[in-house]
Structure 1
């Protein structure tokens, strides 16, 4: 199942310091098949990570272990998500 992590920046200076660790973390998870996609919002206020996990507990564990969340640079909102099979007829 897919889980979406909305990561809102609350401490811009701290975010800049831990961002390289964040990028490495999600890149490593992508290589493990646990991250489907990720990227920043164009307004500069945060970003989104889409996890592929077996359970909400696993998704929560991975999202809360993200360096930007652990450091307090960003808040986390995690939600289960189901993609539509498009086109819908």
Structure 2
């Protein structure tokens, strides 16, 4: 099964209140075995996370659409099928 790299880039006017729900959402993904790695960029422009155990790009995109960063329109989120080794 492939991995999915998600890039989350903050929009102008980013709402800091979105961070705590986003981190809780990531913790839930990790508990469900769907999250491999996550972290913010040192310049605070956004971050990235890697999903796995997901059957398709469409399924990964649907899951990412439930990220609080997407729901609050705080960040632009893009999902890439990633052939990691």
TM-score, normalising length: structure 1: 0.87
Question: 3-state SS of the aligned residue for 1:22?
Answer: helix
By how many angstroms is 1:11 displaced?
4.0
TM-score, normalising length: structure 2: 0.91
How much is the aligned-residue C-alpha RMSD, in angstroms?
1.1
More helix by share: 1
Question: 3-state SS of the aligned residue for 1:83?
Answer: coil
Q: CA contact under 8 A between 1:11 and 1:72: conserved in structure 2? A: no
Residue aligning to 1:60: 61
Q: How many angstroms apart in 2 are the aligned matches of 1:50 and 1:12?
A: 25
Residue aligning to 1:23: 23
Residue aligning to 1:50: 50
Q: CA contact under 8 A between 1:2 and 1:80: conserved in structure 2? A: yes
Q: CA contact under 8 A between 2:14 and 2:75: conserved in structure 1? A: no
Whichever of the two has the greater Rg, that structure is: 1
Q: Would you identify which runs of 4 or more consecutive aligned residues in structure 1 move more than 2 Å?
A: none
Task: Give 5+ residue unaligned stretches, structure 1.
Answer: 85-89
Q: How many angstroms apart in 1 are the aligned matches of 2:28 and 2:40?
A: 17
State yes or no: 1:70 paired with 2:71: yes
Residue aligning to 1:33: 33
Question: 3-state SS of the aligned residue for 1:54?
Answer: coil
